[in-house]
Structure 1
Amino acid sequence: MNAIKAIWDFIQNQILGMKWLNEVIGNGLSVLGLDTSNRWIASVQFFIYDTIKIVLLLCSLIFIISYIQSYFPPERTKQILGRFHGIGANTVAALLGTVTPFCSCSSIPLFMGFTSAGLPLGVTFSFLISSPMVDLGSLVLLMSIFGAKVAVLYVVLGLIIAIIGGSIIEKLNMEEYVEGFISQGGSVDIESPELTKHDRIIFAKEQVIDTFKKVSPYILVGVGIGAVIHNWIPEEWVVGVLGAGNPLAVPLATIIGIPIYADIFGTIPIAEALLSKGAQLGVVLSFMMGVTTLSLPSLIMLSKAVKPKLLSIFIGICAVGIIIVGYFFNIVEPFII
């Protein structure tokens, strides 16, 4: 058992967390005559380390996930979802959301296509909630920062939010609140060409390049904010606002996350810095969920597809789910970290 734990710790710290990289960068700065205990230099070290680490993980994960995603084009996904009914369909939709786009703005066009194709509205919303919140990338990235227990629990609870949220919308019979150009759009089934292994590799490479171009600015901004929090914001400030002494920290973090447009790759360094400064785990994860699931740009885009009442219900379900998950993580934090 000790051997297994030692192997896992090595994977988490040195392969996923890349602690060796931080040491290499610190040693390199020292060789240049720079004092890494200085806050400015420490900020530079944090920025270089987190940027390189996230970019390496980002490119590796996108390649792997995109290769898997090549087996699930929209036409095939629609066919798979069409075979299931009830909560089983919501569950499959939420699971399929884990191997599709990395942010909510990328998920919305797929949601619109599935809805136009006649799939049940609750099923398409389970997909829409799951896709940006709990993609496979989030599992690995969270594992690299917070450990396996937190990462797995985060994904499981995210899937539960997606399944329950979609089921509630299905029970409310909200079809009339979908804009007419979508609900009456219809679809034409086009047989997807069978891809070879080489084709899938090319597709995955293209996805890496395309996604990296889109998210790299958010990574740099996120790492920059993380460096400021990590080295310049007094710990007592973070603890006072986001620590255990503030019972409203979870909803506050969720609300703060909504105006921010980023994905999990951009929010990870901020979350990591906040946690190191004394913020509660549930608060940090609520912030991440708020950013990835309820970002203002994605809500604006979604408002073009659904009417205000349905949009409000979607926001309410997601917000309540995120807040519940946040408080849950605050309670179990001593047992999983």
Structure 2
Amino acid sequence: MKLFEALGDLVAYDLLGLSPDERLGTAVQFFVMDVAQIFFLLALVIYLMGWLRAFVAPEKVREFVRGKPQWLARSLAIMLGAVTPFCSCSSVPLFIGFVEARIPMGVTFSFLIASPMINEIALVMLIYLVGWEIALMYLLAGLVVAYVGGVIMEKLKTERWVESYVWDIKMAAGQAGIKVDKSFSGRHHTAVAEVKEIFRRLWKWVLAGIAIGALFHGYVPQEWVEKHLVGDQAWWSVPAAVLMGVPLYSNAVGVIPVIEAMLLKGVPIGTALALMMSIAALSLPELIILRKVIKWPALIWFVVILAVAFMLVGWLFNFLFA
């Protein structure tokens, strides 16, 4: 942390000649510091998780949960969603695979909720940036929302709202016939390839998140934050955060710099987590893609259930840590 902070000071204050008393200087220092530490953490964690997860193909995920009792299948789907590196949009094709495999819709929706929202890379970064307590709270909240959300979607019998063509899709046979190099070198090359692929998909969103966080950190006055987001009249900040997250497309990793900046300004933890959950699991691009798979009633229920759940989580944490 000190090394990255020193790098931010060097670039912003020494090389660029900005002042720590100026808003621009504070914003640039935050941006440089966060770019360095977040990209370092990203590369390290993706590589380590990729090395361990090198041979877990998406097809194996759905095969693993097929035929299990519903409570166990749902729990396994959530766990698998938490350790697979899928954003909200890339989770949808696997959602189709779950449907094709005739896995119950409640289990399928639990995976769809958990996969983008609970992210091991984001959790490690949260632990490093804001502490293990907040990371643990986010993890527990995500697990509960994914489980309960799946149960509710199951009770609604959402299989009747799946587009008819989805039932007829036959997914690829998978990797069963492909030999995998399980040597150390093979795992290394697979992990490096995963680092490159995830960086290719994430880097612009991470930079955008850091830029927004830097602007918030440097330019939003502390007095405004205390008046509008922290004060006694800030109950509405939680639903506002959920609504704000819907049109934004990122993932749990990309939004962490924004959450970090909000917390540094004193924004309540529940409000920050509600925004993070909304961006990660309720983004507009995901909803557009998901609409091609399920009909409007199922999509509306999906949005309502998650929005209410995120607001309840936000209000609960704000109450507990007021």
TM-score by length of 1: 0.88
The answer for the alignment partner of 1:224 in structure 2 is 211
Instruction: Give 1:204-215 correspondences, 5 Å limit.
Output: 204-215=191-202
- Do structure 1's residue 151 and structure 2's residue 135 form an aligned pair? yes
On the 8 A contact 1:68/1:99 being kept in 2, the answer is: no
Hey, what does 1:182 align to over in structure 2? 166
Per-residue CA deviations over 1:91-132 (Å, capped at 9, x if unaligned) read: 110010011124101111111112112111111111110001
Segment of structure 1 superposing worse, 106-115 or 250-259: 106-115
Q: CA deviation at 1:319?
A: 1.0
Query: Match of 2:237?
Result: 249
Give 1:117's aligned residue. 101
Give the counterpart of 1:62 among 46, 67, 74.
46
Amino acid at match of 1:40: L
Quickly say closer, same or farther: Cα 1:219–1:179, change in 2 above 3 A.
Answer: same
Q: How many residues align?
A: 317
SS in 2 for 1:259: coil
Task: Tell me, yes or no, if structure 1 residue 273 matches structure 2 residue 258.
Answer: no
- Alignment RMSD, CA only? 1.8
- What's 1:315 paired with? 303
Cα distance between partner residues in 2 of 1:65 and 1:124: 24
Match among 105, 118, 138 for residue 89 of structure 2: 105
Aligned partner of 2:3 among 4, 16, 20:
20
Q: Offset of 1:34 from its aligned partner?
A: 4.5
Please give the alpha-carbon distance, in whole angstroms, between the structure 1 residues aligned to 2:117 and 2:251: 9
- Over residues 222-250 of structure 1, what are the superposed CA-to-partner deviations in whole Å (9 max), with x where a residue is unaligned? 11111111111111222233224211111
CA distance, structure 1, for counterparts of residue 7 and residue 172 of structure 2:
55
1:122–1:169 contact (8 Å) kept in structure 2: yes
Please state if 1:51 is matched with 2:39.
no
Aligned to 2:263, the other structure's residue is in SS state helix
Unaligned runs of at least 5 residues, structure 2: none
Question: Is the Cα contact below 8 Å between 1:100 and 1:107 reproduced in 2?
Answer: no
In structure 1, C-alpha distance between the alignment counterparts of 2:118 and 2:171, rounded to whole Å = 28
Relative to 1, partners in 2 of residues 1:300 and 1:207: Cα closer, same or farther, differing over 3 Å? same
Q: CA–CA distance in 1 between the matches of 2:304 and 2:58?
A: 28
2:227 aligns with 240
In 1, the alpha carbon distance for the partners of 2:304 and 2:112 equals: 14
Q: What's the offset of the Cα at 1:275? A: 1.5
Q: In the superposition, relative to structure 1, how do residues 55 and 35 fare at CA in structure 2: closer, same or farther (>3 Å)?
A: same
Instruction: Tell me if structure 2 keeps the 8 A contact 1:118–1:186.
Output: no
- Whether the 8 Å CA contact 2:8–2:30 is kept in 1: the answer is no
Q: Counterpart in 2 of 1:162?
A: 146
Aligned AA (1:144): Y
Percent identity reads 37
